[in-house]
Amino acid sequence: MNTTAKSEATYATILAAGYDMAAAEGIGKLSLGELSKRTGISKSGVFSRVGSLEALQSAVLDEYDRRFGEEVFLPALQVPRGLPRLTMQVDLWLKKIGNETARGGCLYTAGAFEFDDVPGPLRDRIEAGVMRWRASLRKTVLQAMEAGHLRPDTEPEQLVFEIYSLAIGVMHDARFLRANAVPRRAQRAFNRLISTYKSFNDLE
């Protein structure tokens, strides 16, 4: 293995360990010293690869974005616009944060509680990620309204708020209560929620 490939492999090891640590304990718990212990790489070696704790936190969130795109966002784009896409987005998201308790669910949702009153670049980054996903959900809600799948008096911001509130409940029960029934309850809750917004023309 040449020097460049070895350096890239070392960085990948550090990033993977950092991702797992953030998922299990929170992105605010990341530390270069702890990563050094977990990876067996010297602290100076960790620092030389990631540059700083802030850079590592950013890289971990970048990795979360990449995985989220592969597991939730892109698959949802493969189904028809409107309610089918919204349902797929929410279903995949809730399964991700409800089933992968060992990997911490959503770093942005968890991070919002970690850094709700801690001003700084990391809070800004987390807020931007939260708002980006909420904007995506809102766009899909609007498309569902345009397609006649949801009632014309639907308030997109209200529906997105309710979906987000459901996701927070899923994370709470999955991570804190270790409740095995979370995926089933989440699906039932979303089905009940969306039924109140469905257009009469779309009811079967």
- What CATH number did the domain enclosing 96 receive? 1.10.357.10
The phi-psi region of residue 40 (left if phi > 0; otherwise alpha if psi is between -120 and 50; otherwise beta) is left
Span between the terminal Cα atoms of the chain, in Å: 60
Is position 21 within any domain?
no
Is position 1 within any domain?
no
Model confidence, pTM: 0.87
Each residue's pLDDT tens digit, 53-91: 999 999 999 999 999 999 999 999 999 999 999 999 999
Is position 104 within any domain?
yes
Instruction: Supply the pLDDT for residue 102.
Output: 47
Instruction: Supply the pLDDT for residue 82.
Output: 96
Sign of torsion, CA 76 68 105 16? positive
Is position 15 within any domain?
no
Is position 39 within any domain?
no
Domain of 127 in residue numbering reads as 53-202
Tokens of 140: 């899909």
Q: Determine contact, residues 130/112, Cβ cutoff 8 Å.
A: yes
Q: Determine contact, residues 15/41, Cβ cutoff 8 Å.
A: no
Q: Determine contact, residues 15/60, Cβ cutoff 8 Å.
A: yes
Q: How many domains, in total, are found in the chain? A: 1
Is position 107 within any domain?
yes
Angstrom CA distances, 161 to 48, 88, 138, 166, 168, stand at 42, 17, 10, 9, 11
Tokens of 126: 């987390």
Instruction: Supply the pLDDT for residue 200.
Output: 66
Backbone angles phi, psi at 150, to 5 degrees: -115, 155
Is position 168 within any domain?
yes
Is position 127 within any domain?
yes
Each residue's pLDDT tens digit, 113-144: 889 888 999 999 999 999 999 999 999 999 99
